[in-house]
Each structure stands twice: as C-alpha cells, then as structure tokens.
Amino acid sequence: MKIGRKTCIFDFISEIVFGIVFVILIIIYGKPVGILEGLPLGMGGGMIIYYFFRKRKLDERDYYLYYKVNHFTLAAVMGAVVISRLMIDLPRFTEFVNASWAQLVILSFFFFHGLFGLILFLRK
C-alpha cells in the first residue's frame, strides 16, 4: 500500500485519538486491565512493523518532515519516560506508575507522534 500526504495526516489523527482515549481509560481504571493491558503493547509492536514495511509515496520535503516528526517524538517519549520515573517517588502515584508505566510510555509515543505530525504536516 503506497501512502501519500493525506494518508499520513489521517494516520497522525488516528494516533492522537488512540493515545488520548487509552491514557484516559488507564487513568480512570487506575491500572491496566484486560484490553488496556494488551492492546497498547500489541499496537505499539504492530505500528513499528507497519512503519518499516509500508511504502511511502512522498516527495523529499515530506520525507524531511516525516523524519523531523520522528526526532521530536523521540525527544517527547524520552521526556515521558523521565517524568514517569520521577513520579514513582510520589506516594500517591507509586502504585499507578508501577502498574502502567509501559502502557503510558507507548501511548505517549502515539500521542506525540500524531501531534507533531499534524503540526508539521499541516504547517508546511
């Protein structure tokens, strides 16, 4: 499947929605249960494979933007890891972060990748 600029924008929107919905559900339930435990981890692995094997039909400027999105996302996810590890010392959040830190980091990837992608692709 060859994707173009419009498909990339749709992918970014779906990543934002997926990230927000699942973070809200994990916060509501307090710990990952059932689908909240497996789906973000499975989707994360599936998205990594999907990104490597799909064919893109983009021009050089869009490739540049796509790589720039990935760099911003990496920085934001590293920030999310640091914040989640700092929150573990707070008595109120210790159990929550211990139970769901992996899901939160993966969902932060989806959210930030979608957010930065929309910002950069719609701005240029």
The residue with greater pLDDT, 48 or 98, is: 98
Domain edges within the chain: 2-123
Beta bridge partners, 3, equal: 56
| Beta strands per DSSP E along 31-116 | 55-56
The residue with greater pLDDT, 105 or 50, is: 105
63, with CB counted inside 10 A (0-12, 13-18, 19+), is exposed
Q: Tens digit of pLDDT for each residue in 16-49?
A: 888 888 778 777 876 666 665 666 666 666 666 6
Band (76; pLDDT cuts 50, 70, 90): very high
What integer pLDDT is reported at residue 17 of this predicted model? 85
* Most confident region among 13-22, 48-57, 72-81, 101-110 by mean pLDDT: 72-81
The residue with greater pLDDT, 77 or 56, is: 77
| Side chain identity, residue 10 | F
Q: What is the pTM of this model?
A: 0.74
What integer pLDDT is reported at residue 45 of this predicted model? 63
The torsion defined by the Cα of 85, 43, 27 and 16, in degrees rounded to 10, comes to 100
